[in-house]
Structure 1
Amino acid sequence: MSSQPTAVIHDYVGFDTVSKQMERKFLKRGLNFNIILVGESGMGKTTLVNTIFSGHLVDSHGRKTAQEPLRKTTEIVPTTQVIEENSIRLRLTVVDTPGFGDQTNNEGCWTPAIKYIKDQHAAYLERELKPQRERSINDTRVHACIYFLNPGSKGLRPIDIEVLKRLTEVVNVIPVLAKADSTTIEERIAYKKRIKDELSQHRIQVYPYASEEDDEDDITLNAAIKELCPFAVVGSENVFNVDGNLIRGRQHNWGIINVDNEEHCDFVQLRNFMLRTHLYDLIEVTAQRHYESFRTQQLRQIKELRAAQAQAQNTGHPPMPMQTIMNKQQA
């Protein structure tokens, strides 16, 4: 494509204020951010999310103390909260999923998570295709999947490989090494290298993805994120007084691990990545990559079904309603 010549203007006309106009609209509307948590039971999934957003937003289904028996999430549990920071409203939905990997038979254990993600795409598409669309469609599409890896495993288990392959087709996946305080620094380094090698070997693409639109800063930032992946994280809502300073952490016999200390774990890097540098990109990539792929597939199938209906009309059958067509596709 040939570049267009740039015209010179001699007086100020004011269109450079468009960014401020967009910001005002954005502030009024706010934004939706939807996260799904996937992994086996007992990995501290909801605790990590509460730590990321620095508040008790989601009730934990895990143990309150080490003496309690392990409690498990048995069904999809979405929790929505509206939070505000410096006039920016964020409608946050966190979706907890049934734990897997600790059952005798884990066949199809990924089905609830995949179905939920696709159902949100289908609901958005249905509202988008209405003759009279809403001015602003409520976005329930899942923008990020935090995938929790067991620190006790030696690498990706067969079930991890299977689930990750399926998830990365429909959602932005961010893998984390859960409860990283149960590993040594040397173990973490070796674990991360093994995971990166196995992801590459099995051609599993986790977020962030390379884009033709990336500039040098984007490339450098994403390379640093890829180097950290999977993030070795520790989550905690407990606060301790250490030398007069209040810190969030976990108590061990040898001392307290500070979740906000970058030398102790990768929690700060994960939070900054998800909220401070890539939040909007997660939303945008969901729309342009995952939803667009789903939408194209669905519309192609609708076109084929409509063509079949046109033939069926010759026999006197009435046309099938759009909702019935979409229900058939989802089934």
Structure 2
Amino acid sequence: MDSTLNPLHSTRPDTARPKSPWGRHDPYVSMEELGKSFVGFASLPHQIHRKNVKKGFEFTLMVVGESGLGKSTLINSLFLTGLYSDRILPNTSEMIERTVGISKKTVDIEEKGVRLKLTIVDTPGFGDALDGTESYYPVLDYLHEQFEQYRMDEMGKHRTQIKDNRVHCCLYFISPYGRGLKPLDVAFMKDLQTHVNIVPVIAKADCLTKAELLRKKETIRREMEFHKIKIFEFSDCDSDNDVEWTRQDFEMKNSVPFAVVGSNMQLRMDGRKVRVRAYPWGVVEVENPDHSDLVHLRTMLVRTHMQDLKEKTQDNLYEQFRISRMNMRSPSMSF
């Protein structure tokens, strides 16, 4: 047999492997790549991207805090929606008498062809009663029920149809009044930390001067460390060579707890629409990093760490819950 025809005994120098016939049909392959050996597995991230975009994304966010701290307004500002445009605030007597409840609202948001199903879980009545010792139990019960329902669905027959109602993040609103955390804040967050990712925010930050705000942030950090309260930890920056990403990551980490200002009012300034809070002495631009941490909070929740929040809910918080349920003798769980 002619050795030139037998690849096992070829005396010719090694040549590049023939290009994949599918390469020219792949829109993600550049002309430079077509000139090289190409199998095609480098397009796997694009396959996942296309599949996820087609299916859409889901995210559940809980907001907890006293009435009057601007929770609803902040949600509207964060996601540029009118989710709470019809909200009616209770009067003082109603706030004192009512118990803590759970309210859910879902909105479908689309941006550049990407769909997000956003579920907001509100906790009206939290912290309104004169004695708030047990006011947060309904919230913990709700979080536990979502974990338990997910666990039961995993054990069922139709696992491909599991609906994930678990809460991926909790924005915990801290009052701007007072020195630091209240006893209710400490007690609640210590129980809350095993059920959901906590992201603390200082509400209505425009009530404080910059110096007061810096002192309050530092006080809250010290108190959370003293009481061993675990909040959501930012993952390390993956791209050390990206200067802009590194700077943004540094600013977000140093903004915690996020000092936020929300507003439904828009004014046209310098040819663009700006969300502001108007006062006799001027305006506060809620999306201006010099006035509020709203942009940093939005960046963290949506652009950089939404997937991290979901993965930590699944891999850490839910997994710990699942293991604890397996180790329990009693089928029920109490706090």
TM-score of Structure 1 vs Structure 2, range by shorter chain = 0.7 to 0.9
Q: Bigger radius of gyration, 1 or 2?
A: 2
- Counterpart residue number, 1:123: 149
Corresponding residue for residue 248 of structure 1: 275
Q: In structure 2, how many angstroms separate the alpha carbons of the residues matched to 1:125 and 1:276?
A: 29
Matched, 1:284 2:322: no
CA contact (8 A) 1:58 1:94 kept: no
**Matched residues in 2 for 1:291 and 1:230: separation?**
24
Contact 1:35/1:145 (8 A) holds in 2 = yes
* Deviation by residue 1:204-224 (Cα, 9 ceiling, x = unmatched): 11112568xx74749986554
- Structure 1: gaps spanning 5 or more residues: 1-8, 306-324
Question: 1:38 touches 1:99 (CA, 8 Å); kept in 2?
Answer: no
Task: Report whether the alignment pairs 1:185 with 2:204.
Answer: no
TM-score norm. by structure 2 comes to 0.80
Q: Secondary structure at the match of 1:117?
A: helix
Contact 1:149/1:177 (8 A) holds in 2:
yes
* 2:195 matches 1:208: no
Aligned length: 293
Superposed CA RMSD in Å reads 2.4
1:107 to 111, 128, 133: 133
CA contact (8 A) 2:62 2:170 kept: yes
Q: Where does 1:105-184 land on structure 2 (aligned, <5 Å)?
A: 105-130=131-156, 132-184=157-209
Deviations 1:205-247 (A, max 9, x none): 1112568xx7474998655433211111001111123355421
1:138/1:264 Cα in 2 relative to 1: closer, same or farther (>3 Å)? same
The 1:84/1:136 distance shift into structure 2, 3 A limit, reads: farther
Q: For the residues of structure 2 that align with 1:246 and 1:28, how far apart are their CA atoms? A: 31
CA contact (8 A) 1:147 1:173 kept: yes
CA contact (8 A) 2:101 2:125 kept: no
Q: Distance in 2 between matches of 1:276 and 1:188?
A: 26
Deviation for aligned residue 1:57: 2.0
Could you give the per-residue CA deviations for residues 59-92 of structure 1, whole angstroms, max 9, x where no partner exists? 56454xxxx9467585210111121112211111
Using the aligned pairs only, state the percent identity: 37
Distance 2:271 2:54 in 1: 40
Does 1:226 find its partner at 2:253?
Answer: yes
Give 3-state SS (helix, strand or coil) of 2:188's partner: helix
Q: What does residue 313 of structure 1 align with?
A: none
1:260 paired with 2:287, answer yes
| Aligned equivalents of 2:282, 2:140: Cα separation in 1 | 40
2:72 is matched with which residue? 46
Secondary structure of 2:263 counterpart? coil
> 1:142 & 1:116 partners in 2: Cα distance?
10
What letter corresponds to residue 174 of structure 2 in structure 1?
L
